[in-house]
Structure 1
């Protein structure tokens, strides 16, 4: 009897309860759009159908990178501004591409260099830039082109985006979080740019992190994070994560693939 107690295996620890959003709330978290207005419109129509008849609070959370790479960044920004002005509630999180455009408009040389390299040309063409004029720009001229063609209210709208959203057991950010740092103490640069240290971390964060920024073939569901950037600018698949209580499911657009 004593020996059996000595060698008895400890009981397994009880499973942690699944993460939840507050009761009566349904969240649609939308991944990186990157200028694909066609995908955004298709996904929003799917959200309208999905939410029809739901009597609680609907919240749309955009995870950032509305612009660059795809063909219609201006159209996406205008659509987002329209959404922001009417129900349901929309939260917009600033991505690294919004940050780049804003800094480039201020003439920051490093931002102008990266902006051009990661799809800024497509953004400026959507705002009416002549391809030849764009290609002939030096950095000072590019900054002036941005200030001349991108309406001030568009820049102000993008600059109004937040760093992240905390809701229930979830934390919504663009890129990820620095391990070991509480959500409220995260640096904006990490929230918009972090990759390897976040993606490779196997421990727990301050909540389950819902993020974009890093493209995956399909949404990534991990115990500590959910990645929903499915490369819409090239694949035509714009992903929304739907959260209600403990439920997690996916809606996606199925637009044409692109070569942007």
Structure 2
């Protein structure tokens, strides 16, 4: 498979390091959802399954989303708007940053320097915000500052603030939740945002090589992957129609999935 994002991984993330959240030894139930990529219907279907599933458990429940809410699928703006709303009942939600959110923010800050983003899924996101791509291209040729202003005016400030504030990692006991993975053998506190958001190899073939279980998305597969201390739950919803969630309850992992396409 040709990896069209490989050249982009060499770029250094802009802005300050993203927050990292330590939940300590969490006594409730944790859910994690893989890459959504603008597939709003599948996301809502899976979220409803999680809410129903969680009613079987007492105490606090947290849903952790592993990033890549945008791009490729048709309804990125609706996904972000929904994530800004609280969950029902005794559920909380934690949203992590993915590499596609980072690419979008880089593009909003400097469209000329980061002009690749529309070609790797960003066009669908721009259209979901009602942006006319032909008008955008005319602005880009004429005045890059005008394009930057147009983008800032078209995407709600609340959405931009949400994306800029997303943490890079959630840690609970011996389980780490992250978008892409960890650099093998590197202590958790020394992991870089670039690796947390972008890494594939050597993480995919070797795992974290730390006394941790890493739950991640970013690298789509036909089914959940459990190997080498990592659990990959990106099941390529924008292709398969199947979005996957992990449940961690009482130290045991199990999985829920939205309905796949026939």
Which TM-score bucket, shorter chain as reference?
0.7 to 0.9
- Which residue matches 1:162? 167
SS of 2:122's equivalent in the other structure is helix
Taking the aligned partners of 1:185 and 1:108, their CA distance within structure 2 comes to 31
1 CA distance for matches of 2:77 and 2:86?
14
Secondary structure of the residue that 1:82 maps to in structure 2?
coil
Give the 5 Å matches for 1:233-244.
233-244=238-249
Q: Which runs of 5+ in 1 are unaligned?
A: 1-20
In the other structure, the counterpart of 1:17 is none
2:192 counterpart of 1:183: no
**Match of residue 73 from structure 2:** 70
Runs of at least 4 residues off by over 6 Å: none
Give RMSD over aligned pairs.
Answer: 2.2
Match 2:230 to one of 225, 228, 232: 225
Query: Structure 1 residue 24: deviation in Å?
Result: 3.2
Q: Distance in 1 between matches of 2:234 and 2:174?
A: 21
Shift of 1:143: 3.5
Question: In the TM superposition, what is the alpha-carbon distance from 1:138 to its structure 2 partner?
Answer: 2.8
The reply on whether 1:44 has 2:53 as its aligned counterpart is no
Superposed CA deviations along residues 161-186 of structure 1, whole A, max 9, x for unmatched, are: 10101012111110111112111211
Q: Is the 8 Å Cα contact of residues 208 and 214 (structure 2) preserved in structure 1?
A: no
Q: CA deviation at 1:25?
A: 1.4
Q: Matched residue of 1:109: which SS? A: coil
Does the aligned pair in 2 maintain the 1:182–1:206 contact within 8 Å? no
Structure 2: segments with no counterpart, 5+ residues:
1-23
CA offsets, 1:26-58, max 9 Å, x none?
111010001011011000110011111311210
SS where residue 148 of structure 1 aligns?
A: helix
TM-score relative to the length of structure 2:
0.83
